[in-house]
Amino acid sequence: MDDPLEPDTVQSELKILRSGVISWWRTQEFNFPWRTREGSEWEALVTEVLLQRTRANAVKELYREFFKKYSSIERLHDASEGEIRDDISSLGLHWRAEYLSSLGTELSERGGRVPEDRADIEDLPGIGQYAAGAFLTFQRHRRVTFIDANIVKLLGRFLGFEWDGETRRKAWFVDLADAFFDHDYPPAKFGYAVLDFTREVCGRTPECESCPVQKDCAFP
């Protein structure tokens, strides 16, 4: 194939990938409570912290109980770090309790309001570029980029370049991810489609046989 990162080639390849991902997603049904719940913004941001590097099905199992207990940002603010750690112990990554505790304090002091600017959201405890981008996409329906290891893997396999743990921070890759997220679909739907596709199809073990973009994919 042509150089996968040559600008004209990459635009057409990304269009094929986006189209394949969203077409696949429209035939699927995934039921995660945070996608349908009309919660407040602070709940949506806390949910992104719970989902970080964690299986969505594991979060699903504790989601309702967690927000039943932490029914207000003040309740999260008042909880001790140890209490939060116990409540999320089934998710692993226990250091998250410290971030959730600090996030509860910060957002409580803001009256539960999440800042408007992406940079300010990224600066909140435990957030960063991925959670901020996901929050803006799913809660505020903005067309923004968010990058995690699964998205790096998807683009690397599909376009045929090698990647490692640092790839997501490289300027050329951020430009590539921006091009991938420069689409005309409803932002939340496209975001969910990418998350679901990288979990169910192009995951740890890619399901190439049933993949809708296999014929255009550079993965061997």
Q: Which residues sit at the interface with ligand SF4, rule CB under 6 A?
A: 157-158, 201-202, 206-208, 211, 213-214, 217, 219
Please say which residue, 44 or 152, places its beta carbon nearer to ligand SF4. 152
Instruction: Provide the b/e sequence for 162-181 (b: ≥16 CB within 10 Å).
Output: ebeeebbeeeebeebbebbb
How far CA 94 is from CA of 53, 84, 89, 187, in Å, comes to 12, 9, 7, 31
Q: Least distance (Å) from ligand SF4 to the CB of residue 191?
A: 17
- Which CB atom, from 21 or from 134, has the smaller least distance to ligand SF4? 21
Min CB(48)–ligand SF4 separation in Å: 25
Compute the least distance from the CB of residue 200 to ligand SF4, in Å.
10
* Nearer of residues 89 and 210 to ligand SF4, judged by Cβ: 210
Q: Which is nearer to ligand SF4, 4 or 39 (CB)?
A: 4
Contact (CB, 8 A) for 131 and 48: yes
* Nearest distance in Å: CB 212, ligand SF4: 8
- Residue 169, φ and ψ in degrees, nearest 5: -95, -5
Tell which residue, 54, 100, 53, has the closest CA to residue 77: 100
Torsion sign over Cα 161, 166, 171, 176: positive
